[in-house]
């Protein structure tokens, strides 16, 4: 991912009033047994108590390993799946249990862009009909007026005029994603959840789409929830980033700070696995390996959910508190929340370096090639300024 994708101008002046707010949001999927008499034997706790705000005009990035609940969170906030518990407020209104017309009206204001635009676009409809459809469904335009709006949308997302009469299979991946964006924009939403919207695209195309999303954000005052595995992509577009682990938010921070000074041991590991384009820097860098698989969200570990894989806990002599007490998201710096009982251990440079070095040495992680194979985090990436720095881009150690 390139650094050209800039943080949108609108974000700099983003108002502090949230457009979207979730309070203790839970989405549990029941696990059932039996054919004739189905009975509930458990639940997949995909989202398990997430309280987040997305401010007007900002981009909130959402990262975490596969299966940690990112998509379910996005689907819940735009009401594609029901919340099991907790609430969702949009523009000051509780939309958690809206139905019928009220839900339809609210849906117009919140749209989603998916990873695979081919799957989300109807292969039998031309792009023109696909853009006209939501306008008709939401009673926004029909006939010539809808056709005019479709032409306008095509231009806005940078597709050629003749795209209107063509089918999705006639386009490249990047063009299809542009069509997906045009469709989301058709109803003039205020909020867009982009779920791995650029993950399947080549790096150069990713940059173009991220830049397009940034331009559109400024132009139409959009608010984004931007989900991606690739931390480098999230970094360039996000104002703030939330890190999820097993259905919970474990760290929330302004974007730059998250990369320069991650305070949750999970984030530290994710950031350390970010590949650095400079091979010289890359070969000298230490990495933190996350051992073991992500536990099942149907049966998450007690206390801190990360305790089964936590390198900091190991370094601290396996304190019992981690296994019995769930850490709250505590604010350790302005706007920087961390859900770890021992996050203070990572706030001071000397102590942090000592712990990180010891943990990295323990897992013999100096050979980055070996790490690449062993690191289960398919996430991360960011440039480092100091070859010996553990944290990419960390200047605080000089
Ligand atoms: N409809 C469903 N029914 C049952 N379980 C589900 C359903 N949707 C998601 N899950 C489970 O919920 C958990 C969270 O899934 P989700 O897709 O939200 O994760 P994710 O962070 O988006 O992962 P990825 O990065 O792979 O897209 C997973 O264990 C998944 O298997
Ligand atoms: S609370 Fe304990 S197990 Fe959880 S992240 Fe902090 S040190 Fe690790
Ligand atoms: Mg997902």
> DSSP state, 320?
T
| Cα gap 162→38, rounded to integer Å | 52
Q: What is the predicted pLDDT for the residue at 50?
A: 98
Q: What is the predicted pLDDT for the residue at 52?
A: 98
Q: Is 341 in the pocket of ligand 2 (CB under 6 A)?
A: yes
Phi, psi for residue 54 in degrees, rounded to 5: -120, 120
Q: What is the predicted pLDDT for the residue at 183?
A: 94
Q: Which helix (H) or strand (E) holds 120?
A: helix 117-120
Which amino acid residue places its CA nearest to atom 6 of ligand 2? 340
Which atom of ligand 1 is the closest one to the Cα of 81?
A: 1
* Ligand 3 geometric centre to CA of 362 (Å): 32
| CATH superfamily for domain 9-31+44-243 | P-loop containing nucleotide triphosphate hydrolases (3.40.50.300)
Q: What is the predicted pLDDT for the residue at 284?
A: 66
Q: Is 306 in the pocket of ligand 2 (CB under 6 A)?
A: yes
Q: For the chain, give every domain's residue range.
A: 9-31+44-243, 261-374
DSSP string covering 233-285: HHHHH-SEEEEEETTEEEEEEEHHHHHHS--SHHHHHHHHT---S-HHHHHH-
Each residue's pLDDT, cut to its tens digit, for the chain (398 residues) gives 333 333 333 343 445 579 999 999 999 999 998 887 888 889 999 999 999 999 999 999 999 999 999 999 999 999 999 999 999 999 999 999 999 999 999 999 999 998 877 777 788 999 999 999 999 888 899 889 999 999 999 999 999 999 999 999 999 999 999 999 999 999 999 999 999 999 888 888 999 999 999 999 999 999 999 998 878 889 889 999 999 999 999 999 999 999 989 999 999 999 988 777 777 767 766 678 787 888 999 999 999 999 999 999 999 999 999 999 999 999 999 999 999 999 999 999 899 989 988 888 876 544 444 444 344 443 333 333 343 444 443 333 32
Q: Which helix (H) or strand (E) holds 55?
A: strand 39-55
* Ligand 2 geometric centre to CA of 294 (Å): 15
Q: Where are the beta strands (DSSP E) in 72-125?
A: 85-90, 93-94, 110-113
Mutate to test the pocket of ligand 1, among 45, 71, 75, 231 (most ligand atoms within 8 A of CB): 71
* Ligand 2 geometric centre to CA of 305 (Å): 8
Instruction: Return all residues near 338 (Cβ < 8 A) that are at least 6 apart.
Output: 250, 251, 263, 264, 329, 330, 332
Q: Is 307 in the pocket of ligand 2 (CB under 6 A)?
A: yes
Scan for tokens 């006939």, then name that residue.
Answer: 143
| Cα gap 138→105, rounded to integer Å | 8
Q: Which ligand is nearest to the CA of 295?
A: 1
| Cα gap 306→303, rounded to integer Å | 9
Buried b (16+ CB within 10 A) or exposed e, 359-389: bbeebebeebeebeebbbbebbbbbbebeeb
Q: What is the predicted pLDDT for the residue at 379?
A: 36
* Ligand 3 geometric centre to CA of 340 (Å): 25
Q: What is the predicted pLDDT for the residue at 364?
A: 54
């Amino acid at each position: 991912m390139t650094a050209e994708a800039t943080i949108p101008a609108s974000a700099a002046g983003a108002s502090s009033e949230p457009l979207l707010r979730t309070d203790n949001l839970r989405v549990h999927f029941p696990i059932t047994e039996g054919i004739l008499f189905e009975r509930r034997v458990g639940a997949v706790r995909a989202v398990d108590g997430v309280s987040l705000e997305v401010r007007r005009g900002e981009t909130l990035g959402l990262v975490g390993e596969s299966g940690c609940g990112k998509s379910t969170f996005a689907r819940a906030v735009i009401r594609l799946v029901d919340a099991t518990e907790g609430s969702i407020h949009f523009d000051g209104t509780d939309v958690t249990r809206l139905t019928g017309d009220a839900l339809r009206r609210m849906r117009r204001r919140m749209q989603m862009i998916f990873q695979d635009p081919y799957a989300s676009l109807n292969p039998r409809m031309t792009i023109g009909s696909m853009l006209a459809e939501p306008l008709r469904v939401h009673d926004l335009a029909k006939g010539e007026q809808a056709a005019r709006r479709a032409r306008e949308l095509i231009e806005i997302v940078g597709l050629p005029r003749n795209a209107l009469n063509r089918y999705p299979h006639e386009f490249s991946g990047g063009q299809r994603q542009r069509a997906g964006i045009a469709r989301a924009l058709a109803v003039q939403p205020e909020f867009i959840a982009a779920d791995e919207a650029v993950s399947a695209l080549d790096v150069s195309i990713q940059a173009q789409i991220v830049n397009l999303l940034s331009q559109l954000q400024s132009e139409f005052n959009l608010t984004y929830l931007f989900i991606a595995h690739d931390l480098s992509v999230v970094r360039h577009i996000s104002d703030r980033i939330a890190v999820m682990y097993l259905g919970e938010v474990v760290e929330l921070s302004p974007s730059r700070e998250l990369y320069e000074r991650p305070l949750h041991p999970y984030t530290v590991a994710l950031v350390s696995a970010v590949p650095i384009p400079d091979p010289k820097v890359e070969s000298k860098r230490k990495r933190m390996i996350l051992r073991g698989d992500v536990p099942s969200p149907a049966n998450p570990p007690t206390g801190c959910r990360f305790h089964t894989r936590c390198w900091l806990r190991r370094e601290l002599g396996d304190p019992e508190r981690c296994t019995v007490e769930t850490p709250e998201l505590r604010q350790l710096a302005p706007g920087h929340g961390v859900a770890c009982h021992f996050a203070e251990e990572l706030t001071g440079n000397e102590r942090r370096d000592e712990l990180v070095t010891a943990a990295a040495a323990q897992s013999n992680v100096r050979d980055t090639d070996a790490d690449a194979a062993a690191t289960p985090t398919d996430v991360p990436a960011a440039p480092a300024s100091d070859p010996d720095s553990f944290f990419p881009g960390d200047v605080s150690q000089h």
